[in-house]
Amino acid sequence: MTVLLILNFAISFAANDLKESKVVAIVNGAAITRADLDMEINRLLPQELYHRSVTPEKQAEIEKKAIENLINAELFFMEAKRQGFKIDNAEVKKRLDAVKASYQNKKAFEDALKRIGMTFAVFEEKVRQGMMVEKLIEKEVKLSLTDKDLEEYYKKNPEKFKEPEAVRLRYVYIKINPSEPDGKKKAKERAKEAYSKIKSGTDFAQIAQTYSNDMSRIKGGDVGFVHRGTIPQDIEKVAFALKAGQVSEILETDTGYHIIKVEEKRASRHVSFKEIKDKLKRELTESVQKERMEGLIKRLRENAKIQYVSNSG
């Protein structure tokens, strides 16, 4: 766990120690309160508020996620305690110093504790508990893959490392504005003007930056490599028929006019282990660790007594 996750874990247990609050769930006899739940909801909300408001349905979904997070956190701590994980004072001090260092100064840190009504002693104990959970997660979930493991997976799953034929395109898109009088005619004239300049030797990237209505214009129309089935069929047919360096005629669709240039062609191939190794390690590690985490949560929940209290609102 990162320092931030440890801090979140610590805070999630704080409200029980601070004030009376309605109980929303009981996990193996330990109470999770409305104050705990509100704190976790407030932690999750900024992730959901990004560029949009939260509907009542989404609010209910966040609340459900929050209470499940708190139940899992409580179960993790109980399991860490059962397995006998201990954190010495020096380790706790080092982690606390890291948390303090993330604040502008000592007062800012103390003010943050005051805002949630937590004493330093309580916070210190919660950080210790969080570090116990960290050790549990490391034991039960962490995965260290060797190059030999990766190569073995690579050899056993050759079909996963086939890369289909691809073309790297630059693209000019002239959009038809349906609300504008003669919108189609104007778009066609603009497309013809752009095409004429390309044929006269003006750099395609420059034309894309000047004329294109597609976001790729900021990169000179470069959309990178595309495979069959990922772009409109009419454009795909032309793109894969052109040779590297060739420019298409003006292509018309319902929404506008298109001009494409094939920068590079790449035949279907088998991606080498050297090329894919780092990405494979990241993806495989993430996949297996997620699977292990889900397995741990399932096992702990199956053996736990969890009661949801209906007067949680």
User: Hey, where are the domains in the chain?
Assistant: 3-145+280-308, 165-267
The per-residue pLDDT of the chain, averaged, comes to 88
As its CATH architecture, domain 165-267 has Roll (3.10)
For the cut 90, the answer to whether the pLDDT of residue 205 exceeds it is yes
Overall CATH class of domain 3-145+280-308? mainly alpha
Across residues 255-272, what is the average pLDDT? Answer: 94
Q: Is residue 312 scored above 80 in pLDDT?
A: no
10 Å CB burial of residue 92 (0-12, 13-18, 19+) is: middle
Rounded distance between C-alpha atoms, residue 288 and residue 294, angstroms: 10
Residue 267 scores a pLDDT above 60: yes
Q: For residue 273, what are the CA distances in angstroms to 11, 26, 158, 228, 279?
A: 44, 50, 10, 24, 10
**pLDDT attached to residue 280:** 95
Q: Model pTM greater than 0.75?
A: no
